[in-house]
A and B are shown apart, each in its own frame.
Chain A
Protein backbone atom coordinates (compact mmCIF):
# COMPACT_ATOMS: atom_id res chain seq x y z
CA UNK A 1 0.00 0.00 0.00
CA UNK A 2 1.42 3.38 -0.98
CA UNK A 3 1.69 6.30 1.44
CA UNK A 4 -1.12 8.06 -0.38
CA UNK A 5 -3.43 5.06 -0.10
CA UNK A 6 -2.62 4.80 3.61
CA UNK A 7 -3.58 8.42 4.18
CA UNK A 8 -6.79 8.04 2.20
CA UNK A 9 -7.73 5.04 4.27
CA UNK A 10 -7.00 6.96 7.46
CA UNK A 11 -9.19 9.81 6.21
CA UNK A 12 -12.12 7.43 5.68
CA UNK A 13 -11.62 5.89 9.15
CA UNK A 14 -11.63 9.34 10.74
CA UNK A 15 -14.76 10.25 8.82
CA UNK A 16 -16.44 7.03 10.02
CA UNK A 17 -15.49 7.75 13.65
CA UNK A 18 -16.83 11.30 13.34
CA UNK A 19 -19.99 9.89 11.83
CA UNK A 20 -20.40 7.52 14.76
CA UNK A 21 -20.57 10.51 17.11
CA UNK A 22 -17.00 10.90 18.38
CA UNK A 23 -15.64 14.42 18.89
CA UNK A 24 -12.63 15.68 16.95
CA UNK A 25 -10.64 16.00 20.17
CA UNK A 26 -11.37 12.35 21.04
CA UNK A 27 -10.37 11.12 17.56
CA UNK A 28 -7.12 13.12 17.85
CA UNK A 29 -6.37 11.28 21.10
CA UNK A 30 -7.03 7.90 19.43
CA UNK A 31 -4.52 8.57 16.62
CA UNK A 32 -2.11 10.62 18.74
CA UNK A 33 -2.22 13.59 16.36
CA UNK A 34 -3.37 17.20 16.68
CA UNK A 35 -6.98 18.30 16.25
CA UNK A 36 -5.91 20.34 13.22
CA UNK A 37 -4.65 17.13 11.52
CA UNK A 38 -8.01 15.46 12.17
CA UNK A 39 -9.81 18.45 10.59
CA UNK A 40 -7.53 18.08 7.56
CA UNK A 41 -8.35 14.35 7.34
CA UNK A 42 -12.07 15.14 7.44
CA UNK A 43 -11.69 17.73 4.69
CA UNK A 44 -9.80 15.24 2.54
CA UNK A 45 -12.42 12.51 3.20
CA UNK A 46 -15.11 14.80 1.83
CA UNK A 47 -13.05 15.43 -1.30
CA UNK A 48 -12.73 11.67 -1.70
CA UNK A 49 -16.52 11.23 -1.49
CA UNK A 50 -17.08 13.94 -4.07
CA UNK A 51 -14.61 12.30 -6.43
CA UNK A 52 -16.31 8.91 -6.01
CA UNK A 53 -19.70 10.46 -6.73
CA UNK A 54 -18.37 12.10 -9.91
CA UNK A 55 -17.09 8.76 -11.15
CA UNK A 56 -20.44 6.97 -10.69
CA UNK A 57 -22.12 6.01 -13.93
CA UNK A 58 -25.77 7.02 -14.20
CA UNK A 59 -26.60 3.84 -16.08
CA UNK A 60 -24.97 1.84 -13.33
CA UNK A 61 -27.15 3.40 -10.62
CA UNK A 62 -30.28 2.97 -12.72
CA UNK A 63 -29.40 -0.65 -13.49
CA UNK A 64 -28.77 -1.39 -9.79
CA UNK A 65 -32.11 0.17 -8.77
CA UNK A 66 -34.03 -1.71 -11.43
CA UNK A 67 -32.31 -4.93 -10.39
CA UNK A 68 -33.26 -4.32 -6.74
CA UNK A 69 -36.89 -3.62 -7.62
CA UNK A 70 -37.02 -6.72 -9.79
CA UNK A 71 -35.57 -8.77 -6.92
CA UNK A 72 -38.18 -7.39 -4.46
CA UNK A 73 -40.95 -8.11 -6.95
CA UNK A 74 -39.84 -11.69 -7.63
CA UNK A 75 -39.31 -12.52 -3.96
CA UNK A 76 -42.63 -11.01 -2.84
CA UNK A 77 -44.45 -12.85 -5.63
CA UNK A 78 -42.76 -16.12 -4.58
CA UNK A 79 -43.63 -15.56 -0.90
CA UNK A 80 -47.21 -14.82 -1.93
CA UNK A 81 -47.45 -18.22 -3.64
CA UNK A 82 -45.71 -20.02 -0.79
CA UNK A 83 -47.91 -18.49 1.91
CA UNK A 84 -49.98 -21.46 3.14
CA UNK A 85 -52.79 -19.47 4.73
CA UNK A 86 -55.11 -16.94 3.20
CA UNK A 87 -54.41 -14.10 5.57
CA UNK A 88 -53.30 -10.47 5.79
CA UNK A 89 -49.65 -11.49 5.35
CA UNK A 90 -50.45 -13.06 2.00
CA UNK A 91 -52.31 -9.92 0.96
CA UNK A 92 -49.26 -7.94 2.13
CA UNK A 93 -46.99 -9.90 -0.20
CA UNK A 94 -49.33 -9.26 -3.09
CA UNK A 95 -49.35 -5.60 -2.16
CA UNK A 96 -45.53 -5.51 -2.13
CA UNK A 97 -45.44 -7.22 -5.55
CA UNK A 98 -47.81 -4.69 -7.06
CA UNK A 99 -45.98 -1.74 -5.50
CA UNK A 100 -42.54 -2.92 -6.69
CA UNK A 101 -43.94 -3.46 -10.20
CA UNK A 102 -45.50 -0.01 -10.13
CA UNK A 103 -42.17 1.60 -9.06
CA UNK A 104 -40.32 -0.39 -11.71
CA UNK A 105 -42.66 0.89 -14.41
CA UNK A 106 -42.49 4.45 -13.08
CA UNK A 107 -38.70 4.37 -13.16
CA UNK A 108 -38.65 2.93 -16.68
CA UNK A 109 -41.06 5.63 -17.80
CA UNK A 110 -38.98 8.32 -16.08
CA UNK A 111 -35.89 7.42 -18.11
CA UNK A 112 -37.85 6.98 -21.31
CA UNK A 113 -37.48 3.20 -21.48
CA UNK A 114 -41.26 2.79 -21.51
CA UNK A 115 -43.39 4.95 -23.77
CA UNK A 116 -46.71 4.36 -22.02
CA UNK A 117 -47.48 3.32 -18.49
CA UNK A 118 -50.47 0.99 -18.06
CA UNK A 119 -53.34 2.71 -16.25
CA UNK A 120 -53.69 -0.13 -13.78
CA UNK A 121 -52.08 -3.46 -13.07
CA UNK A 122 -54.15 -6.59 -13.32
CA UNK A 123 -53.38 -10.23 -12.84
CA UNK A 124 -54.82 -12.12 -15.75
CA UNK A 125 -55.27 -15.63 -14.38
CA UNK A 126 -58.32 -16.75 -12.42
CA UNK A 127 -62.05 -16.31 -12.81
CA UNK A 128 -63.29 -14.41 -15.85
CA UNK A 129 -64.83 -11.46 -14.02
CA UNK A 130 -65.71 -9.79 -17.30
CA UNK A 131 -68.68 -12.19 -17.39
CA UNK A 132 -71.53 -10.60 -15.41
CA UNK A 133 -72.91 -14.01 -14.47
CA UNK A 134 -69.59 -15.06 -12.92
CA UNK A 135 -69.45 -11.79 -10.98
CA UNK A 136 -72.98 -12.25 -9.70
CA UNK A 137 -72.30 -15.84 -8.65
CA UNK A 138 -69.06 -14.85 -6.97
CA UNK A 139 -70.76 -12.07 -4.97
CA UNK A 140 -73.52 -14.52 -4.02
CA UNK A 141 -70.87 -17.00 -2.89
CA UNK A 142 -69.19 -14.33 -0.76
CA UNK A 143 -72.53 -13.35 0.78
CA UNK A 144 -73.44 -16.95 1.47
CA UNK A 145 -70.04 -17.63 3.04
CA UNK A 146 -70.45 -14.55 5.21
CA UNK A 147 -73.95 -15.51 6.34
CA UNK A 148 -72.72 -18.99 7.32
CA UNK A 149 -69.76 -17.60 9.24
CA UNK A 150 -67.13 -18.96 6.83
CA UNK A 151 -63.84 -17.05 7.20
CA UNK A 152 -63.17 -15.17 3.98
CA UNK A 153 -59.52 -14.16 3.57
CA UNK A 154 -59.07 -10.45 3.89
CA UNK A 155 -62.73 -9.63 4.49
Chain B
Protein backbone atom coordinates (compact mmCIF):
# COMPACT_ATOMS: atom_id res chain seq x y z
CA UNK B 1 0.00 0.00 0.00
CA UNK B 2 1.11 3.57 -0.70
CA UNK B 3 3.28 5.23 1.95
CA UNK B 4 1.18 8.42 2.39
CA UNK B 5 -1.84 6.16 2.72
CA UNK B 6 -0.38 4.33 5.69
CA UNK B 7 0.84 7.58 7.21
CA UNK B 8 -2.55 9.19 7.00
CA UNK B 9 -4.48 6.07 7.95
CA UNK B 10 -8.20 5.60 8.13
CA UNK B 11 -9.23 8.70 9.99
CA UNK B 12 -12.60 10.40 9.94
CA UNK B 13 -11.26 13.53 8.32
CA UNK B 14 -9.76 11.71 5.33
CA UNK B 15 -13.02 9.80 4.87
CA UNK B 16 -15.01 13.03 4.87
CA UNK B 17 -12.52 14.59 2.48
CA UNK B 18 -13.01 11.71 0.08
CA UNK B 19 -16.78 12.22 0.22
CA UNK B 20 -16.27 15.94 -0.46
CA UNK B 21 -14.02 15.07 -3.39
CA UNK B 22 -16.70 12.90 -4.97
CA UNK B 23 -19.33 15.57 -4.32
CA UNK B 24 -17.19 18.08 -6.17
CA UNK B 25 -15.75 15.95 -8.96
CA UNK B 26 -18.09 12.97 -9.26
CA UNK B 27 -17.11 9.35 -9.88
CA UNK B 28 -14.79 8.45 -12.73
CA UNK B 29 -16.77 5.35 -13.75
CA UNK B 30 -19.20 2.65 -12.64
CA UNK B 31 -16.42 0.58 -11.06
CA UNK B 32 -15.42 3.47 -8.82
CA UNK B 33 -19.02 4.04 -7.74
CA UNK B 34 -19.51 0.36 -6.88
CA UNK B 35 -16.18 0.28 -5.00
CA UNK B 36 -17.28 3.35 -3.04
CA UNK B 37 -20.57 1.66 -2.11
CA UNK B 38 -18.73 -1.44 -0.96
CA UNK B 39 -16.09 0.51 0.99
CA UNK B 40 -18.49 2.93 2.67
CA UNK B 41 -21.47 0.68 3.38
CA UNK B 42 -20.05 -2.80 3.07
CA UNK B 43 -22.60 -3.53 0.38
CA UNK B 44 -21.39 -5.67 -2.48
CA UNK B 45 -23.94 -5.41 -5.24
CA UNK B 46 -23.89 -8.42 -7.58
CA UNK B 47 -22.08 -7.41 -10.76
CA UNK B 48 -21.90 -10.64 -12.71
CA UNK B 49 -24.38 -11.51 -15.43
CA UNK B 50 -25.55 -14.99 -14.45
CA UNK B 51 -28.66 -15.50 -16.59
CA UNK B 52 -27.93 -14.37 -20.15
CA UNK B 53 -31.30 -12.64 -20.55
CA UNK B 54 -31.07 -10.76 -17.23
CA UNK B 55 -29.16 -7.73 -15.95
CA UNK B 56 -27.13 -7.79 -12.74
CA UNK B 57 -28.38 -5.39 -10.01
CA UNK B 58 -25.13 -3.38 -10.19
CA UNK B 59 -26.04 -2.38 -13.74
CA UNK B 60 -29.27 -0.83 -12.48
CA UNK B 61 -27.51 1.14 -9.69
CA UNK B 62 -24.90 2.61 -12.03
CA UNK B 63 -27.38 3.33 -14.84
CA UNK B 64 -29.66 5.13 -12.37
CA UNK B 65 -26.84 7.15 -10.83
CA UNK B 66 -25.19 8.18 -14.09
CA UNK B 67 -28.65 8.88 -15.55
CA UNK B 68 -28.02 6.57 -18.51
CA UNK B 69 -31.69 5.86 -18.28
CA UNK B 70 -34.48 8.18 -17.23
CA UNK B 71 -37.32 5.77 -16.55
CA UNK B 72 -36.75 2.20 -15.54
CA UNK B 73 -38.43 -0.84 -14.09
CA UNK B 74 -36.64 -3.28 -11.81
CA UNK B 75 -38.42 -6.59 -12.10
CA UNK B 76 -36.74 -8.88 -9.63
CA UNK B 77 -37.22 -11.76 -7.28
CA UNK B 78 -38.40 -11.57 -3.69
CA UNK B 79 -35.46 -10.73 -1.43
CA UNK B 80 -33.41 -9.73 -4.47
CA UNK B 81 -32.56 -6.31 -3.02
CA UNK B 82 -34.98 -4.14 -5.02
CA UNK B 83 -35.92 -1.92 -2.10
CA UNK B 84 -32.34 -1.78 -0.86
CA UNK B 85 -31.02 -0.84 -4.30
CA UNK B 86 -33.78 1.76 -4.60
CA UNK B 87 -32.78 3.20 -1.24
CA UNK B 88 -29.14 3.25 -2.31
CA UNK B 89 -29.93 5.00 -5.60
CA UNK B 90 -32.02 7.56 -3.70
CA UNK B 91 -29.27 8.25 -1.17
CA UNK B 92 -26.56 8.51 -3.83
CA UNK B 93 -28.67 11.06 -5.70
CA UNK B 94 -29.33 13.04 -2.53
CA UNK B 95 -25.67 13.11 -1.48
CA UNK B 96 -23.86 13.54 -4.79
CA UNK B 97 -26.36 15.60 -6.79
CA UNK B 98 -27.00 18.79 -4.84
CA UNK B 99 -30.58 19.90 -5.30
CA UNK B 100 -31.90 16.46 -6.21
CA UNK B 101 -35.32 15.82 -4.72
CA UNK B 102 -36.88 12.36 -4.54
CA UNK B 103 -40.29 11.11 -3.54
CA UNK B 104 -40.84 7.50 -2.55
CA UNK B 105 -44.22 5.92 -3.03
CA UNK B 106 -44.85 2.33 -2.02
CA UNK B 107 -47.76 -0.02 -2.49
CA UNK B 108 -48.55 0.94 1.09
CA UNK B 109 -47.15 3.45 3.58
CA UNK B 110 -45.32 0.55 5.22
CA UNK B 111 -43.56 -0.25 1.94
CA UNK B 112 -42.53 3.39 1.46
CA UNK B 113 -41.22 3.45 5.03
CA UNK B 114 -39.20 0.31 4.34
CA UNK B 115 -37.16 2.03 1.64
CA UNK B 116 -36.78 5.17 3.76
CA UNK B 117 -35.69 3.20 6.81
CA UNK B 118 -32.99 1.49 4.70
CA UNK B 119 -31.70 5.00 3.94
CA UNK B 120 -31.84 6.12 7.56
CA UNK B 121 -30.39 3.01 9.12
CA UNK B 122 -27.98 1.72 6.53
CA UNK B 123 -26.79 4.56 4.36
CA UNK B 124 -26.96 7.72 6.49
CA UNK B 125 -23.66 6.96 8.23
CA UNK B 126 -21.53 9.60 10.05
CA UNK B 127 -19.54 10.83 7.03
CA UNK B 128 -22.84 11.83 5.39
CA UNK B 129 -24.63 13.31 8.40
CA UNK B 130 -23.09 16.79 7.87
CA UNK B 131 -24.87 16.80 4.52
CA UNK B 132 -28.26 16.48 6.20
CA UNK B 133 -29.99 19.74 7.05
CA UNK B 134 -31.23 19.39 10.62
CA UNK B 135 -32.34 15.85 11.41
CA UNK B 136 -33.71 13.03 9.33
CA UNK B 137 -37.41 13.14 10.16
CA UNK B 138 -39.97 10.35 10.10
CA UNK B 139 -41.23 11.09 6.61
CA UNK B 140 -38.68 13.43 5.04
CA UNK B 141 -35.08 14.52 5.03
CA UNK B 142 -33.71 17.81 3.77
CA UNK B 143 -30.17 17.90 2.44
CA UNK B 144 -27.58 20.65 2.29
CA UNK B 145 -27.90 22.16 -1.19
CA UNK B 146 -31.73 21.99 -1.24
CA UNK B 147 -32.09 18.29 -2.01
CA UNK B 148 -34.66 16.22 -0.19
CA UNK B 149 -36.14 12.76 0.24
CA UNK B 150 -39.78 12.36 1.12
CA UNK B 151 -42.06 9.38 1.49
CA UNK B 152 -45.66 9.52 0.37
CA UNK B 153 -48.65 7.69 1.73
CA UNK B 154 -50.48 5.60 -0.84
CA UNK B 155 -53.30 8.12 -1.30
CA UNK B 156 -54.34 10.19 -4.29
CA UNK B 157 -54.07 13.37 -2.20
CA UNK B 158 -50.42 12.81 -1.31
CA UNK B 159 -49.33 12.29 -4.93
CA UNK B 160 -50.72 15.70 -5.89
CA UNK B 161 -48.09 18.08 -4.64
CA UNK B 162 -44.71 19.58 -5.49
CA UNK B 163 -42.69 18.10 -8.36
CA UNK B 164 -39.29 16.62 -7.48
CA UNK B 165 -36.94 15.27 -10.16
CA UNK B 166 -37.05 11.63 -9.07
CA UNK B 167 -39.88 9.31 -8.19
CA UNK B 168 -39.40 5.81 -6.81
CA UNK B 169 -42.37 3.47 -6.95
CA UNK B 170 -41.90 0.40 -4.79
CA UNK B 171 -44.00 -2.76 -5.19
CA UNK B 172 -46.31 -1.42 -7.86
CA UNK B 173 -48.09 -4.76 -8.02
CA UNK B 174 -49.64 -3.79 -4.68
CA UNK B 175 -50.49 -0.28 -5.80
CA UNK B 176 -53.87 1.21 -6.65
CA UNK B 177 -53.81 1.84 -10.45
CA UNK B 178 -55.40 5.28 -9.99
CA UNK B 179 -52.67 6.37 -7.58
CA UNK B 180 -50.05 4.98 -9.96
CA UNK B 181 -51.46 6.99 -12.86
CA UNK B 182 -51.55 10.17 -10.79
CA UNK B 183 -48.00 9.60 -9.52
CA UNK B 184 -46.60 9.45 -13.07
CA UNK B 185 -47.10 13.21 -13.30
CA UNK B 186 -44.92 13.93 -10.27
CA UNK B 187 -41.32 14.13 -11.63
CA UNK B 188 -40.02 17.20 -13.43
CA UNK B 189 -36.52 18.06 -14.62
CA UNK B 190 -34.92 20.84 -12.57
CA UNK B 191 -31.47 22.14 -11.56
CA UNK B 192 -29.82 20.14 -14.39
CA UNK B 193 -31.09 16.88 -12.90
CA UNK B 194 -33.19 14.82 -15.25
CA UNK B 195 -36.67 13.77 -14.23
CA UNK B 196 -37.03 10.04 -13.81
CA UNK B 197 -39.36 7.34 -12.58
CA UNK B 198 -37.93 4.15 -11.16
CA UNK B 199 -40.23 1.27 -10.49
CA UNK B 200 -39.41 -1.78 -8.36
CA UNK B 201 -41.57 -4.85 -8.05
CA UNK B 202 -41.97 -8.55 -8.36
CA UNK B 203 -44.71 -9.65 -10.70
CA UNK B 204 -46.89 -11.94 -8.68
CA UNK B 205 -50.33 -11.09 -10.00
CA UNK B 206 -51.32 -12.56 -13.35
CA UNK B 207 -53.20 -9.47 -14.47
CA UNK B 208 -51.80 -6.97 -12.00
CA UNK B 209 -50.35 -3.51 -12.46
CA UNK B 210 -46.77 -4.75 -12.82
CA UNK B 211 -47.86 -7.01 -15.66
CA UNK B 212 -49.33 -3.96 -17.39
CA UNK B 213 -46.21 -1.85 -16.74
CA UNK B 214 -43.97 -4.55 -18.22
CA UNK B 215 -46.22 -5.15 -21.23
CA UNK B 216 -46.29 -1.44 -22.01
CA UNK B 217 -42.66 -0.78 -21.05
CA UNK B 218 -41.33 -0.36 -24.58
CA UNK B 219 -44.16 1.97 -25.51
CA UNK B 220 -43.83 3.99 -22.29
CA UNK B 221 -40.06 4.29 -22.59
CA UNK B 222 -39.12 2.25 -19.55
CA UNK B 223 -35.90 0.27 -19.59
CA UNK B 224 -36.38 -3.06 -17.85
CA UNK B 225 -33.76 -4.31 -15.41
CA UNK B 226 -34.64 -7.87 -14.59
CA UNK B 227 -32.86 -10.20 -12.24
CA UNK B 228 -33.90 -13.45 -10.63
CA UNK B 229 -32.76 -15.43 -7.61
CA UNK B 230 -29.91 -16.98 -9.65
CA UNK B 231 -28.47 -13.55 -10.43
CA UNK B 232 -28.19 -12.72 -6.73
CA UNK B 233 -27.14 -16.18 -5.55
CA UNK B 234 -23.81 -16.65 -3.80
CA UNK B 235 -21.00 -18.22 -5.81
CA UNK B 236 -21.51 -21.97 -6.01
CA UNK B 237 -18.34 -23.78 -5.04
CA UNK B 238 -17.77 -27.46 -4.50
CA UNK B 239 -21.37 -28.59 -4.99
CA UNK B 240 -22.31 -31.47 -7.24
CA UNK B 241 -24.72 -30.18 -9.88
CA UNK B 242 -26.34 -33.59 -10.41
CA UNK B 243 -27.52 -33.88 -6.82
CA UNK B 244 -28.47 -30.19 -6.46
CA UNK B 245 -32.16 -29.29 -6.19
CA UNK B 246 -31.58 -26.14 -8.23
CA UNK B 247 -30.11 -27.94 -11.25
CA UNK B 248 -33.26 -27.53 -13.41
CA UNK B 249 -33.24 -23.78 -12.97
CA UNK B 250 -29.55 -23.06 -12.57
CA UNK B 251 -27.88 -25.45 -15.00
CA UNK B 252 -24.51 -24.67 -13.42
CA UNK B 253 -24.72 -20.91 -13.98
CA UNK B 254 -24.34 -20.18 -10.24
CA UNK B 255 -20.67 -21.16 -10.53
CA UNK B 256 -20.11 -17.61 -11.87
CA UNK B 257 -22.46 -15.87 -9.46
CA UNK B 258 -21.30 -13.29 -6.91
CA UNK B 259 -24.50 -12.52 -5.05
CA UNK B 260 -25.61 -12.71 -1.44
CA UNK B 261 -28.46 -15.24 -1.21
CA UNK B 262 -27.29 -18.48 0.37
CA UNK B 263 -27.69 -21.51 -1.87
CA UNK B 264 -29.17 -23.47 1.04
CA UNK B 265 -31.83 -20.76 1.51
CA UNK B 266 -32.72 -20.89 -2.17
CA UNK B 267 -33.07 -24.67 -2.04
CA UNK B 268 -35.29 -24.44 1.06
CA UNK B 269 -37.50 -21.84 -0.62
CA UNK B 270 -37.83 -23.98 -3.71
CA UNK B 271 -38.84 -26.99 -1.64
CA UNK B 272 -41.40 -25.07 0.37
CA UNK B 273 -43.03 -22.99 -2.36
CA UNK B 274 -45.35 -24.23 -5.09
CA UNK B 275 -43.91 -24.41 -8.61
CA UNK B 276 -46.00 -21.43 -9.70
CA UNK B 277 -44.88 -19.29 -6.76
CA UNK B 278 -41.23 -20.29 -7.31
CA UNK B 279 -41.47 -19.37 -10.98
CA UNK B 280 -43.00 -15.97 -10.42
CA UNK B 281 -41.44 -14.90 -7.10
CA UNK B 282 -37.96 -16.38 -7.47
CA UNK B 283 -37.29 -16.90 -11.17
CA UNK B 284 -39.42 -13.97 -12.39
CA UNK B 285 -40.70 -16.24 -15.14
CA UNK B 286 -44.39 -15.55 -15.23
CA UNK B 287 -47.04 -14.25 -12.88
CA UNK B 288 -48.61 -16.74 -10.53
CA UNK B 289 -52.03 -18.02 -11.54
CA UNK B 290 -52.88 -18.72 -7.94
CA UNK B 291 -56.12 -17.19 -6.71
CA UNK B 292 -57.62 -17.06 -10.22
CA UNK B 293 -60.90 -18.87 -10.83
CA UNK B 294 -59.82 -20.06 -14.30
CA UNK B 295 -56.12 -20.70 -13.79
CA UNK B 296 -55.63 -22.05 -17.30
CA UNK B 297 -57.08 -18.94 -18.94
CA UNK B 298 -54.78 -17.55 -21.60
CA UNK B 299 -55.79 -14.54 -23.70
CA UNK B 300 -53.94 -15.83 -26.79
CA UNK B 301 -55.69 -19.23 -26.65
CA UNK B 302 -59.10 -18.50 -25.24
CA UNK B 303 -59.98 -15.18 -26.83
CA UNK B 304 -60.79 -15.20 -30.52
CA UNK B 305 -62.07 -12.60 -32.95
CA UNK B 306 -65.59 -12.58 -34.42
CA UNK B 307 -64.31 -13.80 -37.80
CA UNK B 308 -62.86 -16.94 -36.23
CA UNK B 309 -66.21 -17.63 -34.55
CA UNK B 310 -67.70 -17.74 -38.01
Contact = CB atoms under 8 A, between A and B. Distances in A.
B127 to A, nearest CB: 5
A121 B17 CA distance: 10
B16 A91 contact: yes
Nearest to A80: B13
Contacts of B40: 142, 155
A145 B1 CA distance: 12
A94 B130 CA distance: 9
Q: Is the interface of A mostly helix, strand, loop or mixed?
A: helix
Interface in A113-155: 119-123, 126-127, 129-130, 132, 134-143, 145-146, 150, 152-155
Interface stretch (B24-32, B85-93, B267-275, B276-284): B24-32
Interface stretch (B2-10, B194-202, B217-225, B287-295): B2-10
A134 to B, nearest CB: 7
A53 B39 CA distance: 55
**How many A residues touch the partner, as a band?**
35 or more
Interface string A102-119: 000000000000000001
A121 B24 CA distance: 10
Contact of A137 (B1, B14, B129): B1
B216 interface: no
Contact of A139 (B4, B16, B36, B127): B36
Instruction: Give 5 closest A-B pairs by Cβ, nearest first.
Output: A142-B39, A154-B126, A129-B21, A153-B12, A95-B130
Interface of A: 80, 86-88, 90-91, 94-95, 98-99, 119-123, 126-127, 129-130, 132, 134-143, 145-146, 150, 152-155
